[in-house]
Structure 1
Amino acid sequence: MLLLQVLIVTSTWSYGYSQITLLQTPLSVTRPVSKSARMSCKISGFDFNSNYIHWYRQSPGAAPERILYVRLASVTMDTGFDSKRFEAVNDDSTSTSNLRVHQLTREDAATYYCAAWDTSSGIKYFGTGTKLVVSDIQAKFDSTKIQVLPPSTEQDGKVSYMCLIQDFYPNVIKVTWEVDKKNVEENAVHEEIWDPDTNQQLYSMSSWLTVDKNSNKNYRCKYQHESKEGSRPIESPDTSVVSQTTESCINKPENGTTLSTDITDSFMHRTAYLIYIVLLLKSTTYYVIVLFFIYRMQSPIKHRGKKP
């Protein structure tokens, strides 16, 4: 696993005056058994037609294994993979390699990586990865279940905003913070994705952004999921929770009615603050435990050399 992480780091590399990049889309693909899945890898920074493009599969708990490699219209399959099920097609006009997996089985559930073999330097560059989820559950993302809460506490001249995202599937999501379309990830902390213990297998997560209390910038929580992507501004503490999304991800019902009610919004707001408090208590508990162990470790040192 460590080896793969090292290889992925080389997905962007300065080579001469160009930068080799391999960008895979989408983040995840969710399909049921016996259906087909498609993923793409856009490559820039080197001669797409003169180099080999590889596709790898990494199953959970296993090492990456190469499926095939392609150059121009020639595809070479590795041993153990069926050419009828795994198909690679390169689009020279967009410098994009497309992988299709047909007749899906449960064993196909894995993370797939594209790789570019630069023959001039002898270096292989890996893409960002696409997770294939083989499930009867359809991908879901409810933009009305997103909240970016205003800060409620202040410490050392800093305040923290929380972006709470609930009820999405699968558990593959990318969340970032930005201001004026610029990334501010250096001040962000992302909590682990958690399962709310429901039969629907829906996931939730939270992300925190810590900034100076006097900052008047308009921070936004940006999200990217298989089903939807967009961003959400910080909600005003003087108004009720209102579902807001960017124009690219607004869903309007055909009958013209709104998707949320005051009751739903009020419940979501209370739930978000409850989670906010729980996370703060958890952090405080960890702090107390660490102080306790530090005290226990220092006590023998203080008594060292004293007679019983």
Structure 2
Amino acid sequence: MLYLSALIFFLVTYAEAQSIVHDQISKVKRGDGQATARITCRVTNSQYVHWYMQKPNKGLKRILYMRGDKDIHEDGFTKAKYEASKTSNKYALNIYKVTNEDEGTYYCAAWYYRSTLIQSHRKSKQIVKELTYEKQVNRCCSYVKDFVKENCTVFGKVFGRGTQLFITDQTARKPDVTILATSKEVAKDIGSVTLLCSLQNFFPNAISVKWTEKNTELGSEKGEIIKNASTNMYSLYSWITIKNPDIGKIYKCSYKHEGNVKPWEEIEYDTKILKDTIQVETKIENCTNSPGDDDARHMIIRAAQLTYSLLLLKCLLYCPLLLVFKYKFPK
């Protein structure tokens, strides 16, 4: 640190919004050297777009980058094998004559920039060190002048989530999806409901799952993806816990998979039936425990006792008469 304690900086930053979305979560292709894999992504606010590949247990390698409509390849990568194209904000990478060596994850990336206004109150020039974004700031603002504001642009690179390329003879298959819920009895006892989204028998294992309620994404949990060795298919469980105030709404389990007809497909569960159960139990408990319960119970008991007494009295009156008629006037 070069006299950092003697430097006072005021930083005002502006970051350009950057969005990168991969259209596919995975691609399944045969490795016979005949197929072409096409991977696409959508990028906003960038004139430079980069394509990277990462093979299993290997580091990232840049294949090429696009400047406008022109693709510029790195050493060792040719246009005969990798070709990039652009239509509006949609970018595509074609991988020709796919073989087993092409299996891996492919990433779309783009630059973003952050403008930083730096003001110095130091009378002598000093190299900017150990600031927020210090490394990026040093690239474009090596020195800070006395009492001078400098508008520096700081660059960074944003990556998409990536598209996995699987080389196999097996075809993509979407999951069989069901939602299981806590039983009514358990929901009544604990005052909450757990919804479990079961996704079974899908291939490949690249999948995204989310829970929503009225288009609002909810926090959820999920287990590990499990492989069935006999079928080479996969399964996954995802779940959410709903507290009593939110029981009664409709919840959706959405999943993105290569085997889908639509990019995102969903299944929903209406928790209204569970809400009704809890409400009925609450009403019964409230009725039992409401003010005046003791008086009401005493009145009911006294009425029952009075009724029983009247029936007993009638029995005592009528039984002797019946005996008299029976024995005095025999048939």
Q: What residue number does 1:244 align with?
A: none
Cα distance in structure 2, aligned partners of 1:68 and 1:37: 16
Cα distance in structure 1, aligned partners of 2:248 and 2:272: 14
Q: What residue number does 1:224 align with?
A: 256
The equivalent position to 2:96 in structure 1, one of 77, 102, 106, is 102
Cα distance in structure 2, aligned partners of 1:195 and 1:169: 10
1:121-158 deviation per Cα after TM superposition (whole angstroms, max 9, x unaligned): 4211111211111111111115xx21101213457533
Where does structure 1 lack aligned partners over 5 or more consecutive residues? 1-14, 239-308
Cα distance in structure 1, aligned partners of 2:234 and 2:206: 9
Give the 3 Å change call, closer, same or farther, for CA 204–235 of structure 1 in structure 2.
farther
- Deviation of the 1:110 alpha carbon: 0.6
Q: What residue number does 2:72 align with?
A: 76
Give the 3 Å change call, closer, same or farther, for CA 118–203 of structure 1 in structure 2.
same
Cα distance in structure 2, aligned partners of 1:27 and 1:18: 26
Q: Which has the larger radius of gyration?
A: 2
Cα distance in structure 1, aligned partners of 2:270 and 2:173: 24
Q: What residue number does 2:24 align with?
A: 26
Cα distance in structure 2, aligned partners of 1:121 and 1:22: 19
1:10-66 deviation per Cα after TM superposition (whole angstroms, max 9, x unaligned): xxxxx847521100110101111121111111111x2x4xx2211000111111111
- Deviation of the 1:237 alpha carbon: 11
Give the 3 Å change call, closer, same or farther, for CA 134–194 of structure 1 in structure 2.
same
Percent of residue pairs bearing the same amino acid type: 30
Q: What residue number does 1:114 align with?
A: 108
- Deviation of the 1:165 alpha carbon: 0.8
1:89-147 deviation per Cα after TM superposition (whole angstroms, max 9, x unaligned): 111x2x111101111111111111111124754211111211111111111115xx211
Equivalent residue pairs, number: 213
Cα distance in structure 1, aligned partners of 2:80 and 2:170: 26
* Aligned residue identity for 2:191: G
Q: What residue number does 1:130 align with?
A: 163
The equivalent position to 1:169 in structure 2, one of 187, 199, 203, is 203
Where does structure 2 lack aligned partners over 5 or more consecutive residues? 1-12, 114-152, 274-331
Cα distance in structure 2, aligned partners of 1:158 and 1:79: 58
Q: Is the 8 A contact 1:150 1:237 kept in 2?
A: no
TM-score, structure 2 length as denominator? Answer: 0.60
* Aligned residue identity for 2:174: F
The equivalent position to 1:90 in structure 2, one of 79, 86, 93, is 86
Cα distance in structure 1, aligned partners of 2:16 and 2:107: 22
